[in-house]
């Protein structure tokens, strides 16, 4: 790959959390940009997509997305716009906004009212790696498998790691960097073997 891609971090609905693995990742990798928190309309899916576009407008060159939780759903919605080519995306522990989530999270009705559902099921127009937990309180594993299948994602089952957040003991998550490297290798292979895509 000729240029080192910028990593665009897309957090979930709780935005920036100091102990979160995405925050650690942003500090560890020199080429990271995080979509900043919203000051208003925080539950609006449209406002979140606009924030992604604003972040992308400030980045030159290739971009690799690293999304977590509802951030994965933002990527699925954003991809429908095809506003800009993306190298690929790591989708970690997607939040199933079509089913009722645990107490403390927005209800599925509130999320529906704010444009989050239905979850887009079209194949994503760039390579993706979906990392799913077997005991995620926000998404059943069989649902994560279906998202991966619909989006054309390479599925990595992580085992019982909860929602991959500080509450499940995942502040620092070193596997994220390995998964990014795996995804970049997958992208490189696809770019050098165009006949295999035919």
- Alpha-carbon distance of 126 to 87, in angstroms, equals 6
Cis peptide before 197 (omega within 30 of 0): no
Judged by phi (left if over 0) then psi (alpha if -120 to 50, else beta), residue 72 lies in: alpha
Q: Is the pLDDT of residue 2 over 60?
A: no
Q: Is the pLDDT of residue 167 over 90?
A: no
- For the stretch 135-145, pLDDT in tens is 999 999 999 99
CB 108 within 8 A of CB 70: no
- Alpha-carbon distance of 183 to 42, in angstroms, equals 30
Confidence of residue 1 (pLDDT cuts 50, 70, 90): very low
Strand ranges across the sheet with 32-34 = 32-34, 6-10, 63-68, 88-92, 128-132, 154-157
CA atoms within 13 A on the CB side of 16: 11
Task: Give the residue-averaged pLDDT of 161-176.
Answer: 87
User: Could you give the residue ranges of the DSSP H alpha helices within 40-174?
Assistant: 45-57, 70-79, 108-113, 141-151
Q: Report which of 58, 81, 42, 76 is spatially closest to residue 8, judged by C-alpha positions.
A: 58
Q: Is the pLDDT of residue 195 over 60?
A: no
- Alpha-carbon distance of 179 to 89, in angstroms, equals 10
CB 46 within 8 A of CB 80: no
- Phi first, then psi: give them for residue 195, nearest 5 degrees: -65, -30
Domains and CATH numbers, the chain: 6-192 (3.40.50.1820)
Q: Is the pLDDT of residue 198 over 60?
A: no
- Alpha-carbon distance of 150 to 125, in angstroms, equals 12
Tokens of 81: 């716009």
Q: For the beta carbon of residue 145, count every other beta carbon within 10 angstroms.
A: 15
- For the stretch 36-49, pLDDT in tens is 999 889 999 999 99
- Per the model's pLDDT, the better-predicted residue between 137 and 15 turns out to be 137
Check residue 25 and give its pLDDT: 92
Which residues make Cβ contacts (< 8 Å) with residue 30, sequence separation at least 6? none
Average pLDDT, the chain: 91
The least confident of 3-12, 91-100, 133-142 is 3-12
pTM, 2 dp: 0.93
């Amino acid at each position: 790959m000729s240029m080192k891609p910028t990593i665009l971090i897309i957090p979930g609905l709780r935005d920036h959390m100091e102990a979160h693995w995405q925050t650690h990742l942003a500090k560890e990798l020199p080429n990271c940009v995080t979509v900043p928190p919203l000051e208003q309309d925080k539950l609006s899916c449209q406002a979140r997509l606009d924030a992604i576009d604003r972040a992308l407008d400030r980045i030159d060159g290739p971009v690799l997305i690293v999304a977590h939780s509802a951030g994965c759903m933002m990527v699925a919605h954003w991809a429908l716009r095809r506003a800009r080519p993306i190298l690929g995306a790591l989708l970690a522990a997607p939040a199933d906004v079509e089913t009722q989530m645990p107490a403390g999270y927005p209800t599925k009705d509130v999320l529906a009212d704010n444009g989050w559902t239905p979850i887009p099921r079209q194949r994503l127009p760039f390579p993706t790696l979906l990392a799913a937990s077997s005991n995620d309180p926000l998404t059943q594993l069989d649902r994560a498998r279906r998202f991966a299948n619909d989006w054309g994602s390479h599925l990595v089952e992580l085992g019982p790691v909860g929602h991959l957040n500080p509450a499940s003991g995942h502040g620092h998550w070193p596997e994220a960097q390995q998964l990014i490297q795996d995804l970049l290798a997958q992208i490189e292979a696809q770019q050098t073997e165009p006949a295999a895509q035919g």
